[in-house]
Amino acid sequence: AQSVTQPDIHITVSEGASLELRCNYSYGATPYLFWYVQSPGQGLQLLLKYFSGDTLVQGIKGFEAEFKRSQSSFNLRKPSVHWSDAAEYFCAVGPPIPDKLIFGTGTRLQVFP
Amino acid sequence: GAVVSQHPSRVICKSGTSVKIECRSLDFQATTMFWYRQFPKQSLMLMATSNEGSKATYEQGVEKDKFLINHASLTLSTLTVTSAHPEDSSFYICSAWGQGVSDTQYFGPGTRLTVL
């Protein structure tokens, strides 16, 4: 079965602290992996994506993610969180051609000053 | 980057009425558009995929007679919720992909539907 698991429903960090959001996937073919961010009442903004090549990908807003095939994981990281990073983060997996994306249940990030 | 808009951003309607939501690709031709539904504090679930000029393909469990999707042009897709009921209240998000334009979908800002 195809699925995406984000084990952490809610994470709270202090501003300036490092961040790691976990994502594990189950997919029958070569996965194309994505991280999106959603602010309250807003649509989705693509942070980064992995298709192939270097397993460490850089995205916008200082985020990066590492693809680990052996662990079926695609964790999102940021070395120093800003208050404006507070939002909902979704990991997603899909096929090579843009098609149905399977989303995780999301992780809500709260940032304390 | 590619921009996708949705209109309206919010709509409130009475039970039994129909509501139309528009999804437009502003600066590219969208070969394929996707409609997702998001319940409060939950993830996005794909409702249907529409290709320009073709009938939409609905996901299992989505009533195609209730959620009418039209993709009449390369820049516009519409979702009509017919005979809306309170349980249809949700956040509806579209995304668009253009062949040769990008290798990923671009998402619209979403439409909040509230059925009274």
**Which stretches within B32-116 are classed as H helix?**
none
A43 with B34: Cβ contact below 8 A: no
Q: What is the model's pLDDT at position B49?
A: 93
Residue B1's pLDDT is what?
A: 67
Size of interface A-B (CB pairs under 8 A): 51
Rounded to the nearest angstrom, the gap between the alpha carbon of residue B49 and the centroid of all alpha carbons in its chain is 9
Q: How large is the average pLDDT for residues B82-102?
A: 90
pLDDT of the residue at B52: 84
Judged by a CB distance cut-off of 8 A, whether residue A105 touches chain B is yes
Judge whether residue A66 has pLDDT over 90. Answer: yes
* CA dist list (Å): A98 to A8, A34, A101, B18: 27, 12, 8, 30
CB contact under 8 A, A44 and B103: no
Average pLDDT, chain B: 92
Mean pLDDT of chain A: 93
Per-residue confidence at A62, pLDDT binned at 50, 70, 90? very high
What confidence score (pLDDT) does residue B17 get? Answer: 97
* Cβ neighbours of B19 (radius 10 Å): 19
A42 contact B CB<8A: yes
pLDDT of residue A33: 95
Name the residue among B32, B45, B107 with its Cβ closest to that of A43: B107
Q: Is B42 on the interface with A (CB under 8 A)?
A: yes
Q: What is the pLDDT of residue B101?
A: 75
Mutate to test the interface with B, among A93, A97, A101 (most CBs of B within 10 A): A101
Please give the pLDDT value at position B39.
83
Residues in contact with B1: Cβ distance below 8 Å, sequence separation at least 6, in sequence order: B106
Does B28 lie at the interface with A, CB-CB under 8 angstroms?
Answer: no
Nearest CA to CA, how far is B87 from chain A (Å)? 19
For the stretch B34-89, pLDDT in tens is: 999 998 778 889 999 998 888 899 999 999 999 999 988 999 999 999 999 999 99
Whether the CB of B43 is below 8 Å from some CB of chain A: the reply is yes
Q: Average pLDDT in the B85-100 region?
A: 91
CA angle A109, A111, B3 (to 5 degrees): 55
